[in-house]
């Protein structure tokens, strides 16, 4: 059976670009909105991408959003969280959301430790930012990149196959596409 990549659209206008990149890789995918997301979607996906969102988690009750994704802790599906998705993954494991410097343009990302997520991506590469919040790093995650505007730009869960980036690789041209390809290469199929 062909692999199913699930893209969860949390309201970001950038979400469609994940689909464009997966199409270029000749990969099968489905996009579902967060409002229509069910446990069945999560259970049946082979890989999951959680998009950014216009939602400010410091200004709403995050509990309903966290509840939507709680199931991820009990399945072994590879997950990539981007911006809002990154924050959700962090909060699921005890990270705290906080307001930060607004970043709405290209920014230099500094890799703090070698990671296969950044394979063939030079140190201090530039990625597109679009955020004013960040999530603190809990003990469950390893920090792999930071920037001037954000202490936690990229992280990897220590035991689950979860990766998170605060920046937007889906609109960061060459290096963004390469980062997504790296993530796809890191994913293992369900056995």
Whether domain 5-186 has CATH 3.40.50.880: the reply is yes
- State the SS3 of the chain: CCCCEEEEECCCCCCHHHHHHHHHCCCCEEEEEHHHCCHHHHHHCCEEEECCCCCCCCCCCCHHHHHHHHHHHHCCCCEEEECHHHHHHHHHCCCCEEEEEEECCEEEEEECCCCHHHCCCCCCEEEECCEEEEECCCCCEEEEEECCCCCCCEEEECCCCEEEECCEHHHCHHHHHHHHHHHHHHCCCCC
pLDDT tens for 20-49 read 999 999 999 999 999 999 999 999 999 999
Cite the active site residues.
83, 168, 170
Whether 101 has a pLDDT exceeding 90, the answer reads no
The domain limits of the chain are 5-186
pTM greater than the 0.85 cutoff: yes
């Amino acid at each position: 059976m062909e692999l199913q990549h699930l893209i969860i659209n949390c309201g970001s206008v950038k979400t469609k670009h994940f689909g464009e990149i997966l199409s270029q890789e000749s990969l099968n995918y489905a996009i579902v909105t967060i409002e229509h997301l069910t446990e069945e979607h999560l259970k049946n996906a082979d890989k999951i991408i959680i998009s950014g969102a216009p939602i400010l988690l410091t200004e709403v009750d995050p509990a309903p959003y966290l509840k939507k994704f709680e199931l991820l802790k009990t399945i072994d599906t590879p997950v990539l969280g981007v911006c809002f998705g990154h924050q959700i993954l962090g909060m699921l494991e005890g990270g705290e959301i906080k307001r930060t410097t607004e970043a709405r343009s290209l920014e230099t990302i500094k890799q703090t430790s070698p990671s296969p997520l950044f394979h063939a991506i030079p140190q201090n590469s530039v990625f597109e930012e679009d955020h004013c919040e960040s999530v603190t790093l809990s003990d469950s995650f390893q920090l792999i990149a930071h920037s001037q505007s954000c202490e936690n730009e990229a992280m990897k869960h220590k035991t689950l196959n979860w990766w998170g980036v605060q920046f937007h690789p889906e609109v960061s041209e060459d290096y963004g596409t390469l980062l997504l390809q790296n993530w796809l290469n890191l994913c293992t199929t369900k056995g």
